[in-house]
Amino acid sequence: MANCVSCGRALPSFSFGEASNVCGDCRRAGIPPIPSAPVDPLSRSVRGVTYRPPFTVAIVGVNALVFAGMVATGVPLLKEPTYAQLLRWGADFGPLSLDGQPWRVLTSNYVHIGLWHIVLNMWGLWNLGRLAERIFGGWTYLLTYTACGIAGSLTSLFFHPHTPGAGASGAIFGLVGALISALYLGRLPFPKVAMQRMLRSLLIVVAVNLYLGAQVGVIDNSAHIGGLVMGLALGAVLGPELTKPREIRTAHERIVFVAAAILLVGLGAFARRQSGWVVPLERARQAINQGRVDEGIGELQQVLARRPDEEMGLDLLSYAYLLKNDYPRAEVALKRLLTSDPDDPTAQYNLGVVYQATDRYEQARELFLKLSLQTPENDKVWLSLGSSLKKLNRLPEAEQAFRQALAVNPKNSAAFLAIGQMQLELEQPDTAIDSFQHCLQIDPKSADAELGLSRAYLAKRMFKEAAGTLKKYQEIKASEQPPSQWSR
């Protein structure tokens, strides 16, 4: 930073129009400036040397290196990466960020989801960062960017704790907010017309991007708003001090960023208190997937004690009870879930399974019929509807439902099996053999199809074939796991 040639005081780090190497106090005292070349606030320093914003270049470079590392390790360049890939590189995620990995609220600002995501963010950062770095100075700019990024991550954890988040947009929105406040409140030496033009452009950027974020489901506007609010606040307290001497300004900035750090810690504690329920929820999910169902149920009870109507908790709890064949408790959880979301197709389907398992076939039929109208492309629903109809001895309707399942999914082996079993009951062994063979072509490990085929062969007095299929049935049955018919 240049100094006044008269008194040695530090000069502002930016200027418009004719640059001066004499401070304002000396000019008012009558000391004339030494003539110098015009200065562009974005491209030239007061000495006429090309201005290169080192911190903006560094931030863009770090983002580019992280993305290159992601691609080099197998993350798709153009397609969206998986959740596991994002988490491996430091994305924000409530069950991790709120449970021992708080560093993710920072690292997630340097992780991007595909080529276009990083290109658009870095383009915005380059255009805004150069101006912000020029106005605030390098280290103040970097701290502002970082604080706004963390604020965006914490806001996202509050509103969307169960969804991984990544990207620099929260920090970039923070720069926009800081610039708006600083330009409006900072009494900066910019021409009035230029000031109004910049403010108008920044406000348009905010409005357009928030609108797009509201329209596009995958964009996390909460992170944008969190970063923006932090930026507006920092710009409001930093802006009025920008034209003061370096010593005063530096002391003020220290206080501001200590206060910002305390605020962010408080926001983190608040997010953990409000959204910490996702931690036992994720533990429950992992426990259930690993077969520790009772442990998972215990974790879910903690979640539902805090959030009785939490849909993900009720969904997982009902699934856990179904795994234990505890149909009464599963029914209670499913009905609570359907109270919150009556049109949840998975909960309706699983409730129908509960009705079937407890011999309430008419209620199951009504539920599956409703689902077949809502989701006619779901072959599992048609299959379950056919099973309920068969139990009610409405065989023509049952066969029609099974064949509709095959129309939706010609590789539904269970539909072929059900049709074969019906044909066997109707003493149609020839067509039953054909149906069972179709089932085994799709699923060679179907023990029920081998058993049905054996019975069909016996009905035709084909004893050798029947003995062979019966042996296969016994081999498969000895090694198979109990099937699950419910959904998650």
pLDDT tens digit at each of 488 positions of the chain: 455 544 455 555 444 434 455 565 555 544 444 343 333 444 434 344 456 789 999 999 999 999 999 999 999 998 889 999 999 999 999 999 999 899 999 999 999 999 999 998 999 899 899 999 999 999 999 999 999 999 999 999 999 998 999 999 999 999 999 999 998 887 777 777 777 787 788 888 788 777 777 776 667 789 999 999 999 999 999 999 988 898 999 999 999 999 999 999 999 999 999 999 999 999 999 999 999 999 999 999 999 999 999 999 999 999 999 999 999 999 999 999 999 889 899 999 999 999 999 999 999 999 999 999 999 999 999 999 999 999 999 998 999 999 999 999 999 999 999 999 999 988 999 999 999 999 999 999 999 999 999 999 999 999 999 999 999 999 888 876 655 555 55
Q: Which CATH architecture has domain 54-275?
A: Up-down Bundle (1.20)
Encoding tokens for residue 60? Answer: 């863009």
Q: What is the reported pTM? A: 0.74
- CA dist 88 and 487 (Å) reads 28
**How confident is the model at residue 218, as a pLDDT?**
67
Domain map (residue ranges) of the chain: 1-51, 54-275, 411-488
Q: How far apart are CA 66 and CA 349, in angstroms?
A: 43
Q: 229: helix, coil or strand? A: helix
SS3 165: strand
Q: Is 169 a catalytic residue?
A: yes
d(CA 378, CA 380) in angstroms, rounded, equals 6
Give Cβ neighbours of residue 361 (< 8 Å, ≥ 6 apart): 355, 388, 391, 392
Give domain 411-488's CATH number out of 3.10.20.310, 1.25.40.10, 1.10.1740.10, 3.40.1400.10: 1.25.40.10
Q: How far apart are CA 327 and CA 312, in angstroms?
A: 19
Residue 246: half-sphere exposure toward Cβ, Cα within 13 Å: 12
Catalytic residue among 112, 117, 224, 438: 224
Residue 146's contacts (CB-CB under 8 Å, 6 or more residues apart) are 106, 109, 171
The values of phi and psi at residue 31, to 5°, are -80, 120
Residue 41: predicted pLDDT: 43
How far apart CA 25 and CA 308 sit, in angstroms, is 66
Task: State the pLDDT at residue 2.
Answer: 54
- 13, 15, 97, 169: the catalytic one is 169
Rounded Cα distance, 1 and 306, in Å: 55
Beta strands per DSSP E along 19-99: 38-39
* First CA to last CA distance, the chain: 62
CA 198 – CA 194 distance, rounded (Å): 6
For residue 191, give the amino acid letter: P
- Structural tokens at position 21: 């190497």
C-alpha to C-alpha distance for 363 and 436, rounded to whole angstroms: 29
Contacts of 363 (CB under 8 A, 6+ apart): 352, 355
* Residue 446, SS3 per DSSP: coil
> Whose structure tokens read 């044909």?
423
Cα separation, 44 vs 183, in Å, equals: 20
- Residue keyed to tokens 């970082």: 146
